[in-house]
Chain A
Amino acid sequence: MLYLADTVNLTVVGKGIIMGFGMLGPAIGIGLIGAAYMNAVGRNPEVSKYLGQILVIIAIIELMALLVFASIFIIK
């Protein structure tokens, strides 16, 4: 194990963990929004005109994913 710790660059491991776990939340959130939108359109096809509002909500959640992506450049 000691040998491993000497050769593996822990910064890369940290970046991987940040990307993996950080993207998990926004991915689930955007999936839920998409599912709810498709459900609503399935029940009532008239609400498909609210796609613009859905994109705005997705953009708000996407900010969290982008913050995760930006933070991997801060780690040196």
Chain B
Amino acid sequence: MLNSLLNRFAVDSGPVVHITPGILTTFHGFVITNSMLYAWICSTLIVVVLIWVAHSITTRPKGGFIQIIEVGVEFITNLIDSSIGDRKKALKYAPMFLTFFFFIAFSNLLGLLPGVGEAFTLHGSPVFRAFTADLNGTLAAAVVAMFYVQYYAVRESGFRKHIRHYFNGSLKSPITILLGLFEILGEFIRVISLALRLFLNVAIGEIIIAVFAYLGKIAAPLTSLPFVFLELFVGVLQAYIFTMLIIMYLAVAIKHDHEEDTLDHESVPESIQLQEQHG
């Protein structure tokens, strides 16, 4: 009797989950996947909504959705300011980081809407899929982010000085060159770790929701609800962490050169000569 009761509320086989994106159509040999389709929809929506917010913003805050966007913009700008330590530069770099923050946050949140996932299927693959739940998408985001970090660092300090900051110390010693090569390898590892972190957090969140909705059977909305709320939190948190990490990488790439500059101005031999003259 207990067994039959258990069978009504729990099942022994797993739910259907996709980790790879599904191919919807091909357009002149160019493959269109479900995550790409949803990314286009999301980015169009984000552009429209943010342009509307930019037009309807007022000096005196009216509250509501506009103020949430305002708080996010202010928060990320302050974050860049405190990391780089220069308000002017922070305002210069803010658009790129804000784009990443809002795109990832909105993609994560819109990916949790009902209808996204296994609800509608075409040729056995879901029509909509969250852009960040696809490793290709997050890898592209990470590559673009790190490319921009390198571009800003080169523009800030020049190509030679930027390459030189990886090799910290005398160039004659082989240890400096070995450590510098490891630092450059670290840049590529950063790309992979950024992509994997975002992808795994979102994809595994979806899997967990699917598993708990499947286990619940009749009470599926009840059992998966806590995990949906968890994913709402994780979605915004991951957008913040992605932005925070690329800000850190940019701050490190810029700050190293600054310290070397101050060392060059106060070179040691001059100060010794001054001391000799005074003494």
Tell me the smallest distance from the CB of A37 to a CB of chain B, in Å. Answer: 16
Q: How far is the CA of A52 from the CA of B193 in the complex (A)?
A: 19
Residues of B in contact (CB 8 Å), total 16
Cβ-neighbour of B196 out of A52, A63, A69, A73 (below 8 A):
A63
Given contacts A69-B200, A69-B204, A73-B19, contact A63 B193 (CB under 8 A): yes
Chain B residue contacts of A66, Cβ below 8 A: 196-197, 200-201, 204
Interface of A is mostly: helix
A to B contact number (C-beta, < 8 Å): 36
A44-76 interface bits toward B, Cβ cutoff 8 Å, 1 = contact, 0 = none = 000000001001100110110011011001000
In the complex, the answer to whether A63 meets B238 with C-beta atoms within 8 Å is: no
In the complex, the answer to whether A63 meets B200 with C-beta atoms within 8 Å is: yes
In the complex, the answer to whether A56 meets B241 with C-beta atoms within 8 Å is: yes
In the complex, the answer to whether A59 meets B241 with C-beta atoms within 8 Å is: yes
Chain A residue contacts of B200, Cβ below 8 A: 63, 66-67, 69-70
Nearest first, the 8 A-B pairs at minimum CB distance are A66-B200, A59-B241, A63-B197, A56-B244, A69-B204, A56-B241, A70-B200, A66-B204
Residues of A within 8 A of B (CB): 52, 55-56, 59-60, 62-63, 66-67, 69-70, 73
A-B contact pairs, 19 of them (CB 8 A): A52-B79, A55-B237, A55-B241, A56-B244, A59-B238, A59-B241, A60-B193, A60-B197, A62-B197, A63-B193, A63-B197, A66-B196, A66-B200, A67-B196, A69-B200, A70-B19, A70-B203, A70-B204, A73-B19
